[in-house]
Amino acid sequence: MILNRRSLMTTALTLGAMKAFPGLSYAQARPLVFATFTGSWEEAHKAVLVPAFRKANADAAIVLDPMLSVDQIAKVNAAKANPPIDVMLHDPGPALVAIGQDLAEPYPVEKSAYYKDLIAEAQEPMGPAPFFQVVGLTYNPEAIKTPPTSWADLWKPEFKGRVGITNLNSTLGTGWLVEIAKMRGGSEANVDPGFKALEELKPNLAAVAANPGALATLFQQGQIDISPGNFNAIQILKARGVPVEFVAPKEGAIAFKTTIHIVKNSPNRELAFRLIEASLSPEVQTTLMNPPYLIVPTNSKVAMGGEIARVLAKDTAELKQKFVFQDWKKINEQRSAWIERFNREIKI
DSSP string, 71-104: HHHHHHHTTSSS-S-SEEEE-HHHHHHHHHTT-B
Query: For residues 21 and 167, what is the distance between their CA atoms, to the nearest angstrom?
Result: 42
Domains 32-131+257-305 and 132-255+328-345 share a fold: yes
Q: Tell me which CATH homologous superfamily contains domain 32-131+257-305.
A: Periplasmic binding protein-like II (3.40.190.10)
Residue whose C-alpha is closest to residue 168's, from 348, 331, 4: 331
304, 258, 344, 163: CA torsion to nearest 10: 10
pTM of the full structure? 0.82
329 pLDDT above the threshold of 50: yes
Domain 132-255+328-345, what fold?
A: D-Maltodextrin-Binding Protein; domain 2 (3.40.190)
Average pLDDT, stretch 20-33?
62
Distances (CA, A) of 230 to 7, 30, 187, 233, 307: 35, 33, 21, 5, 14
* Sequence spans of domains, the chain: 32-131+257-305, 132-255+328-345
Spacing of C-alpha 94 from chain mean position: 11
3 pLDDT above the threshold of 70: no
Give the CA angle between residues 13, 288, 63 to the nearest 5°. Answer: 15
Q: Beta strands 245-247 and 131-139: pairing type?
A: antiparallel
Per the document, the length of the chain is: 348
Q: pLDDT tens-digit profile of 152-204?
A: 999 999 999 999 999 998 899 999 999 999 999 999 999 999 999 999 999 99
Query: For residues 61 and 253, what is the distance between their CA atoms, to the nearest angstrom?
Result: 38
74 pLDDT above the threshold of 90: yes
